Structure 1
């Protein structure tokens, strides 16, 4: 049974991450923050107005990199501390103070980019030839040149950075602090409800009456905050529109895709092709769920119901080690050593507590180790989630060892490939270790419900909705709760057709996704999973050569475009073939589920 979440102070330390690897104490953090501000002032005095030669360029970037390395642990520390307990006043105020100081620092440092771009192409080219270390950074800077504004404008915009981030902060505060979910009742029995317990437990609860009642109660509370949340989101959108117009992009979409290093054709193809061609497969899966669970009708609230609740083992954090290690062993000893360290050195925050951010993420600060946030419920799904986040960790663990801080982060278009790759490795490992029909069905249903439903359906439908939102913003409009509800409902109805009843409350799912405050992020999950599905097939068929290619991709960090990284792994994402292959693979998995269900039912009849 789901229990009320404890306050953070009551959580066992072994379930939490160790932020002392960033700063041993609050005093150390404060001292580092003071040193940073002093060093930034000294840096500006040393270089501002004095960058003229190729040698100057290299010197300023060397010191700029050192400052960047000072900023990263400070920002990571404040962000991670508040993410595990947004009810903590001290963590909130620390995070706000760092945001203000960071904005001031950014404004002071804005001269670097502006002055570099004022130099002639010859000087920049000479610097690139003299320094392999900074050549990629300068190349990307030149690519950005056409969208840069006057140095004083850039300085002013940098000074306002914390204000630009305010909508996301307000969204999280509304979601994790102000929303207090009441208990819900089924057949006279009361059950506790929270954001974490709904998304971690009740949404996939086998008991239909409880699952639907939890969905209704959860949606009712969301509805209370729909107008505030919509206004918050619209503020974020208008800031993006203003920035896009100021910098001279043709649309907000072009502005947001620029840093992803992909064009609109790749963006639209991902959404359009999946919406059209995956829908029939997922409708078949929904019908199977309805049949196996004996549902009177299939509603949106039932889409995460388990296919076989009797095959959903409870897994402890300790037990997860064997699954993770066995599945990821093919990645080699160095990768497995990273996984072992993540457990031994408390890189992961497993706890469930009030005020903790929902979902899961991996933060990978350069110069130290990654940090993973997850709320461990004990379901097998948690193993897939942990493997996913360890995929991010393994990516940056490798990239940081082979690239400098400027070159380590790839395009967000590619960012979800290493994470979903690990999910595929877990799934393939489980499938190869049993011939039991029920176990195989459970594993495949886990792949569909966790890996593909979450990344290829949930996030893809968010992307389709997000595209409609930006069409309105680009046309000079704005959004409110009614508009957002209508857009979300329309996307869901188009995808699920008559197979699934989009019941009241489903339209409010736009309120649950923080990715909308991170640019065009939702569609990149399906892009990453397309790449990782193809690479996982290579690993199954070719073994070590495919793994070696993949490790080289991880080590390349951000030094290549998504298309180039994918090509290194043997996948050509400039065509629609990988995406169509992945959709066909999902369809094949669902056909296998239908077949296995028929065989299991036939065996059950014979046993009678």
Structure 2
């Protein structure tokens, strides 16, 4: 556990609180064997070159060999990366990750000819192959998807060059990751008792929830003053990532980096624009909530470091990890016995790395491979927020678990567009459960506040992030300069637009862009907002309709990447091609706000 004032070393964390990566490889020697096997399989792919149009059997053999290669490569890469995530300062696993990354580049280069060559086969002949061979017909959606994107797929040689460029193009993100997880050190501040404590990314959320405003302000300034010292370096890093996106969009004949990103999901740019437009039209709701916060906290001025402290002063519930596990299991009961059975398996079988340690990757994620069960990384801090984080990440993990049990490897990776739906359905169900169990007016108010905070962070905040990404990419695409100061100015102006009516927007917040890892997975964050909206609708259906809605939802989870995201969501009864789900979600925000206003005013 991490109850001390300084972070423990990895070796000092009890084994029962660590994930079991030995379920992937028992030791490095086993990893080395598969590393070698991946290289051998990659070398064999050349045997298919120039022969894909010969017969349906040849095309099938190529697809199957490619799946075998990619799934094994995934296993090699994920293990190395997760071992590094345990302690980013560990040079052994830094080296393994670098080798795995280089190997992945070789793998994608080795198979880069497959799609371009497949697309040279006359379409009627290709369809006859698929229709005449039952095993090959499994790949029908994948083939149709590549035909849809044919104009953006280049020649065999060009695709090989782009595959080889991946390792270079990831450099900006790699630099940020190493700085943000291995090299960065924050100063010490004094906590509520006056004792010196080191600020860490894991502790920052807890510090920002402190009842002591001096602690919040000190933590806020400590964090951003540290990032500011590397302002120009971090600016160059993010700008490099933006330029990378522009390069690939131009090379692949897209009008913009945004269009290129969304086309991968077959999502129209209008969906992105509708989100920003709809949220912008409803910023009055955000400011209404912030005015309530200012009034309840009895502040003359509301600052950026006042946005996360719970408004219900006396209610401060600490939740141990063991208690959190029980709460999550009880809260997700509406999803049925089967789901709960898999959930218990995940919670008790070494899927999860629980506590923060020195050098550990910050935040939380769910990951894994087709050949293994999912894994979850946490930095658990014994608070309500982290109960929701556990619920959230197990939503991801079980989405993967259902998909991998149901789909062949080729459709095992669901799109990011739908990824946040499963996690947020879990959070919505948990919120309902905890409200139903609330024992006092204070507790109910606390939970409503928490839900509104989740909403603010997922819909309003992520939409602001999405707008920031759109603006900085547009600036580069229009040939304008983009540097650290420009990034700060754009980001500060957006904060003024979203919060400025009610909040004194502190200058330090202009540096917040520099610490957001998702900006290196460009045009990702808008999917949190659309996913939250879809999840809100699905949770409502589960509560109103019961088992029929659960059955449809589980079918959605099993869908993986077997169809387009918008089509998969329709299985669960949600249509995100229009702004309506966003509008409906904002109506839920307003109703929840009304409930909280009645309790607190």
Q: TM-score range by the shorter chain?
A: over 0.9
2:73 to 57, 68, 71: 71
Q: What CA distance in whole angstroms lies between the structure 2 residues aligned with 1:235 and 1:406?
A: 31
User: 2:198 corresponds to which residue?
Assistant: 193
User: 1:368 corresponds to which residue?
Assistant: 372
Deviations 1:311-358 (A, max 9, x none): 231111111121111111221222112211222211111111122222
2:234 to 211, 229, 237: 229
When residues 310 and 219 of structure 1 are mapped into structure 2, their CA distance, relative to the original with a 3 A threshold, is same
Pairing 1:242–2:247 present = yes
Contact 1:33 1:74 in 2 (8 A): yes
User: 1:308 corresponds to which residue?
Assistant: 312
User: 1:51 corresponds to which residue?
Assistant: 52
Q: What CA distance in whole angstroms lies between the structure 2 residues aligned with 1:57 and 1:14?
A: 47
Post-superposition, which runs of at least 4 consecutive aligned residues in structure 1 deviate over 4 A?
A: 185-188
If the length of structure 1 is used for normalisation, what is the TM-score? 0.95
If the length of structure 2 is used for normalisation, what is the TM-score? 0.96
User: 2:350 corresponds to which residue?
Assistant: 346
User: 2:280 corresponds to which residue?
Assistant: 275
Pairing 1:323–2:327 present = yes
When residues 185 and 68 of structure 1 are mapped into structure 2, their CA distance, relative to the original with a 3 A threshold, is same
Contact 2:221 2:508 in 1 (8 A): yes
Q: What CA distance in whole angstroms lies between the structure 1 residues aligned with 2:191 and 2:320?
A: 29
Aligned residues: 595
Contact 2:42 2:106 in 1 (8 A): no
1:412 to 401, 416, 428: 416
1:179-190 residue pairs with structure 2 within 5 A? 179-185=184-190, 189-190=194-195
When residues 187 and 68 of structure 1 are mapped into structure 2, their CA distance, relative to the original with a 3 A threshold, is closer
Deviations 1:30-61 (A, max 9, x none): 1110111112212323x122212223211211
Q: What CA distance in whole angstroms lies between the structure 2 residues aligned with 1:313 and 1:179?
A: 31
Contact 1:563 1:573 in 2 (8 A): yes
Contact 1:417 1:532 in 2 (8 A): yes
Q: What CA distance in whole angstroms lies between the structure 1 residues aligned with 2:200 and 2:309?
A: 18
| Unaligned 5+ runs, structure 1 | 599-608
User: 2:430 corresponds to which residue?
Assistant: 426
When residues 81 and 504 of structure 1 are mapped into structure 2, their CA distance, relative to the original with a 3 A threshold, is same
Contact 1:203 1:215 in 2 (8 A): yes
1:509 to 509, 512, 525: 512
Pairing 1:263–2:268 present = yes
Contact 1:399 1:408 in 2 (8 A): yes
Shift in Å, 1:298: 0.3
2:213 to 199, 202, 208: 208
After superposing the two structures, state which structure 1 stretch, 340-349 or 282-291, moved more: 282-291
Deviations 1:499-523 (A, max 9, x none): 0011121111111211111121011
Pairing 1:145–2:150 present = yes
When residues 411 and 521 of structure 1 are mapped into structure 2, their CA distance, relative to the original with a 3 A threshold, is same
2:579 to 553, 576, 581: 576
| Unaligned 5+ runs, structure 2 | none
User: 2:224 corresponds to which residue?
Assistant: 219
When residues 119 and 452 of structure 1 are mapped into structure 2, their CA distance, relative to the original with a 3 A threshold, is same
1:110 match: secondary structure: coil
Pairing 1:80–2:113 present = no
Deviations 1:470-503 (A, max 9, x none): 1112212342110111111111100113200111
Contact 1:288 1:594 in 2 (8 A): yes
Shift in Å, 1:453: 2.1
User: 1:18 corresponds to which residue?
Assistant: 20
User: 2:303 corresponds to which residue?
Assistant: 299
Q: What CA distance in whole angstroms lies between the structure 1 residues aligned with 2:367 and 2:573?
A: 28
Contact 2:199 2:219 in 1 (8 A): no
Shift in Å, 1:216: 0.9
Q: What CA distance in whole angstroms lies between the structure 1 residues aligned with 2:492 and 2:264?
A: 30
Q: What CA distance in whole angstroms lies between the structure 1 residues aligned with 2:481 and 2:76?
A: 35
Deviations 1:183-216 (A, max 9, x none): 1247993532333244331122221111111101
User: 1:112 corresponds to which residue?
Assistant: 114
When residues 470 and 180 of structure 1 are mapped into structure 2, their CA distance, relative to the original with a 3 A threshold, is same
